Amino acid sequence: MEMNLLGLGLPLGLGLAALGSGMGLGRAVSGAMEAMGRQPEAAGKIQVSMIIGLAFIEALTIYAFVTVFVLQGKL
Amino acid sequence: MSADRSLPLDHAFLRRVRTATIVLGLLGSLFVTLYAGVKPGVGWTAGVAVALANFILLHWILVRILRPQPLLGPKVYAALGAKLPFVFGSVFLAVGVAKLPLLWFSLGFSLLFVVVLLKALGRLLMTKQGLTIGDPREGAAFRMRREPNGPMSTKSKVGALLLVIGLSAAAPQMPRIVAHFDQAAFTTDLTVESVPAMAVAQDHGTDAQGGDAHGTDAHATDAHAADAHGADAHAAEGHGEDHGEDHGAVKHFPNLVTYITWIATKAGVSEEAGWLKLLNEYENVFFNILLAIFFAVVTSKASRARAMIPGKLQNTVEYAVESLYEFVKGILGHETRRYIPFIGALFFYIWGMNWMGLIPGFKSPTAYLNTTLALAGCTFLYVQYTGITRLGPLGWLHHLSGSPNDPVGWAMVPLMLPLEIIGEIAKPVSLSLRLFGNVMGEDTLLALFATLITIGIPALGLHVGVPLHIPFMFLALLASTIQALVFTLLATIYISQMLPHDDH
């Protein structure tokens, strides 16, 4: 029975991580889009830094995802 | 030396032989240590070292004797006298006293002679093609065959064909040879406990849920995922899907290695055969090598006959390289030229590996933590190397202490140094985990949706499966590219942080 708790917790944890990360990604992209709209000539530079930021934010979900796979064997 | 052109054994030749032997010997000792164990590795290295020392001594003596005015001092006589005792003594020490394996020692010892033989053959080939011996392009003797008189002659074509046929005729013997070594070697070091661990694949397209899910069917790659995740892969063999808890139930498409294993086991090769085991264990390396060969062929083809008006292939490659160059230039500026080889190789290699998983019969090596960890480790070492060489050892330490330039900054050094070091170590970890998680998640997603093809058939009464994973493949195309770009971009930024900041 105690195993089932893990089965509940893993997807829930991953979902939570995805939720937070999604909010972060949304904020980052919206900020970048606004900046690009205001300064189209700087679009290239903004895009590069946006992608870097996105990669860092998204990595958090990936860590949760990897954790799920690590613990999946115990399910 | 005023070399006699008809004499193939001149000074440059000896130097070439020495360099080639050192390189091949080092590579060989790496491989022998990896595949056959530490002791054979030491034996091989000792053999190469003894042969090399002997050769260098001989070279030294020859240089002195074969001059226009020979230098025949007591040194030369001493060297001549010491040569034989040295060889016999070192062989005795290595095999008799240190008990190194004779087979590997003699293999290492004979490497030098093989190199001499091959180099001499290459020279013969060159003189036949009408090239002078001293040609600096000697190493490319085989490539030269084509350039002096246009395309390959019929004779060399027939020769190449015969060589290929001979090699393929010898190939069936290879498993036996490998299996022979296997007895002694593979069981000793560096093997995972539950080696073959050929779990049953979720064979997409056929109904693998049925009762045929047993050991001899579709051997798959779940074992790798299981190893990587620390799960126990023991019970994998001979068990079906119903024992999902053994191998984490990470789904993958079957790939070439799966098929080869399947065909080989059907054909009666034992699962314990050395080459099968090797192939299954180093599956990712197998695909890496395939990709490396692909890149080598494409790039050499594209850059061989460069034209002012490029052809299709040259145009594509040039476009790709140029775009990446411009992109990196935005970050590194005038330093781009120095670092673009590493960064470009990283990008195209990762991109290729990511996309490989979308081709039927292939898999993404990046969906395996070892691959990404190795890539990130290379990046880490390269970044630190850049820091040490470009900033100087002291400048590097200064950078690692948070670049203090006022008393407050210096006071913070004991706090900043550990933090920065942890930060440096976290970089490769996050790089590798990000790439691994993304690509593995993508591949798993595709495989999961591919299994739904068969599920739809009984439920909806369809006669043909619906390929539900196709839309996700487009997503995967995009995500793979972005991940390759992100890895490369971060590597570029890490490098740029290690460069002197004088232009800011």
For chain A, which residues make up each domain, given as ranges?
A: 2-72
Confidence of residue B264 (pLDDT cuts 50, 70, 90): confident
Residues of B in contact with A65 (CB under 8 A): 437, 441
Confidence of residue B169 (pLDDT cuts 50, 70, 90): low
CB spacing of A62 vs B440 below 8 angstroms: no
Place of tokens 């900054």: B409
DSSP state at residue B199: E
Which residue on chain A is closest to B488 by alpha carbon? A52
CB spacing of A62 vs B489 below 8 angstroms: no
B410 pLDDT higher than 50? yes
Mean pLDDT to the nearest integer, B86-93: 84
B216 pLDDT higher than 80? no
Q: Is the dihedral of CA B110, B112, B116, B118 positive or negative?
A: positive
Confidence of residue B17 (pLDDT cuts 50, 70, 90): confident
Place of tokens 């060399």: B156
At the second CATH level, the architecture of A2-72 is Up-down Bundle (1.20)
B330 pLDDT higher than 90? no
Which candidate from A44, A51, A65 shows the least CB-CB separation from B437? A65
- In chain B, the percentage of residues whose pLDDT exceeds 70 is 71
The predicted pLDDT at position B6 comes to 41
B231 touches chain A (CB under 8 A): yes
**Amino acid present at B480:** S
Helix (H) or strand (E) holding B294: helix B283-304
The predicted pLDDT at position B105 comes to 86
- Beta bridge pairs of residue B137: none
ipTM field:
0.74
Give CA–CA dist B273/B36, Å, rounded: 15
DSSP state at residue B190: S
Q: How far is CA B378 from the centre of its chain?
A: 12
Residues of B in contact with A69 (CB under 8 A): 225, 229, 248, 250, 440
Which residue on chain B is closest to A54 by alpha carbon? B486
The predicted pLDDT at position B196 comes to 31
Confidence of residue B176 (pLDDT cuts 50, 70, 90): very low
Query: DSSP per residue over B315-331, as a string?
Result: HHHHHHHHHHHHHHHHH
The length of chain B in residues reads 504
Mean pLDDT of chain B: 74
B452 pLDDT higher than 80? no
Cβ–Cβ pairs < 8 A, chains A and B = 54
Write down the number of H helices and E strands in chain B: 17, 2
Place of tokens 């000793």: B188
Q: What is the pLDDT of residues B480-503, one digit of tens each?
A: 998 999 999 999 999 998 888 754
B31 pLDDT higher than 80? no
Mean pLDDT to the nearest integer, B289-318: 83
B248 pLDDT higher than 90? no
The predicted pLDDT at position B491 comes to 93
Largest CA distance in chain A: 59
CB spacing of A72 vs B441 below 8 angstroms: no
CB spacing of B489 vs A69 below 8 angstroms: no
Q: Indicate which of A50, A52, A58, A69 best probes the interface with B, i.e. most B CBs within 10 Å of its own CB.
A: A69
Least confident of B96-110, B117-131, B354-368, B423-437: B117-131
B479 touches chain A (CB under 8 A): no
Q: How many beta carbons lie within 10 A of that of residue B407, not counting itself?
A: 8
| Distances A37 to A43, B300, B412 between C-alpha atoms, Å | 8, 43, 41
B215 pLDDT higher than 60? no
Q: With CA atoms as reference, report the closest residue to B52 among B80, B90, B78, B85.
A: B90
Q: What is the pLDDT of residues A10-30, one digit of tens each?
A: 889 999 999 999 999 999 999
Specify the higher pLDDT residue, B443 or B73: B443
Å from B241 to nearest chain A CA?
A: 14
The predicted pLDDT at position B131 comes to 62
Which candidate from A51, A69, A72 shows the least CB-CB separation from B486? A51
The predicted pLDDT at position B84 comes to 82
Residue B392, Ramachandran bin (φ over 0: left; ψ between -120 and 50: alpha; else beta):
left
Six-digit token string for B103: 């087979």
Residues of A in contact with B478 (CB under 8 A): none
Mean pLDDT to the nearest integer, A51-66: 84
Q: How far apart are the first and last CA of chain A?
A: 11
B204 pLDDT higher than 70? no
- In chain A, the percentage of residues whose pLDDT exceeds 70 is 95
B2 pLDDT higher than 80? no
Which residue on chain B is closest to A66 by alpha carbon? B437
Mean pLDDT to the nearest integer, B345-353: 92
Confidence of residue B381 (pLDDT cuts 50, 70, 90): very high
Which residue on chain A is closest to B247 by alpha carbon? A73
